[in-house]
Amino acid sequence: MSEGFSLGVFTTIVRPEEKAILAAAEARGITVQRIDDGETTFGLDRPPGLPDVVLNRSVSHTRSLYATRFYAHYGVPTVNTAEVTELAGDKILTSLRLRERGIPTPRTIVALSPEAAMRAIEEIGYPAVLKPAVGSWGRLMAKVDNREAAEQILEHKAALTSPVHSVIYVQEYVPKPDRDLRVFVVGSAAVAAMYRRSSDWRTNAARGATTEAAEISKELGELSLRAAEAVGGGVLAVDLMESPNGLVVHEVNPTPEFKALSAATGADIAGRIVDYAVDVGRR
Ligand SMILES: Nc1ncnc2c1ncn2[C@@H]1O[C@H](COP(=O)(O)OP(=O)(O)O)[C@@H](O)[C@H]1O
Ligand SMILES: [Mg+2]
């Protein structure tokens, strides 16, 4: 390791993923600066003592957005970049980009008010899936099977004051098998993949889905890399579903968890992330 090189790790909490990242850095003899996203402040001028690169592991999209902007302003590269964080952290912006790049993705209509959302849902047809534009772990998503259910969900949305809930992302329900796929991309490599299986239609590992290593076929690898590149590339987890018409990408996660994926595949994802971040820091 070059003299004085240091890796910043920007965190909210230290989950098993961050522990693994810190351990991988230590194993490589890399000096780590841990930066707590709730403690640190950002002035307009570059402060002294910044690391050579910042690996963003914050669980907050808002904190991630501003922090990566500030580091860019200070001339410190981040993984992922501010642009990737902004785009991939927002399902609406991601859908637009995937479509622009010709990557298969479920049919989606966005409404900017709960009133307009009813029209979007009727246009998509039932069942329809409603998602917050920003969020993870399948939280606050709803599958609506008929107009009555849709009206009830939208009444609840209308009662919520947060602006987040006034924008409604409506997607066709993809009749996938009882699983979806997650492919972890680091730079130009698809490093590991798994099936996430659940009796719940939301197959997030955080919701208790069982996980199983998946082979990265040529098609799966290429599609995942295209999706990652579409949002700007970096460290990204691409979520895909097996639709009746083939694979579709429904999400590209910019600060992904990977505990379940490491366990299912044995892949050293933390090590790959650290190597990539160091590479970015030395460019
Ligand atoms: N359009 C859809 N049709 C069927 N299942 C879906 C659809 N969108 C998402 N899901 C299921 O819900 C899970 C969570 O959705 P996702 O868009 O990845 O949001 P999150 O950011 O919360 O993970 C997916 O992994 C998948 O199992
Ligand atoms: Mg997801």
Fold of the CATH domain 6-87+273-282: Rossmann fold (3.40.50)
CATH class of segment(s) 108-172: alpha beta
Neighbours of ion ligand 2 (CB under 5 A): 239, 251
Q: Where are the domains of the chain?
A: 6-87+273-282, 108-172, 175-267
Helices (H), the chain: 16-27, 61-74, 82-88, 91-100, 114-124, 147-159, 218-230, 259-265, 269-282
Hey, CA dihedral for 208, 210, 213, 219, is it positive or negative? Answer: negative
Whether 269 has a pLDDT exceeding 70, the answer reads: yes
What backbone torsions phi and psi does residue 212 show, to the nearest 5 degrees?
-150, 135
Residue type, 75: G
Most informative mutation of 93, 204, 238 for ligand 1 (most atoms within 8 A of CB): 204
Residue 3 pLDDT level (bands cut at 50, 70, 90): low
To the question of pTM greater than 0.75 for the whole model, the response is yes
Residue 265 pLDDT level (bands cut at 50, 70, 90): very high
Give rounded-to-5 percent helix, strand, coil for the chain: 40, 25, 35
pLDDT of residue 188: 98
pLDDT of residue 163: 77
> What's the CA gap between 62 and 98, in Å, rounded?
22
pLDDT in tens, 196-237: 999 999 999 889 899 999 999 999 999 999 999 999 999 999
CATH superfamily label, 175-267: ATP-grasp fold, B domain (3.30.470.20)
The token duo for 280 is: 């970015």
Most informative mutation of 168, 201, 210, 211 for ligand 1 (most atoms within 8 A of CB): 201
Ligand 2 midpoint to CA 239 (Å): 6
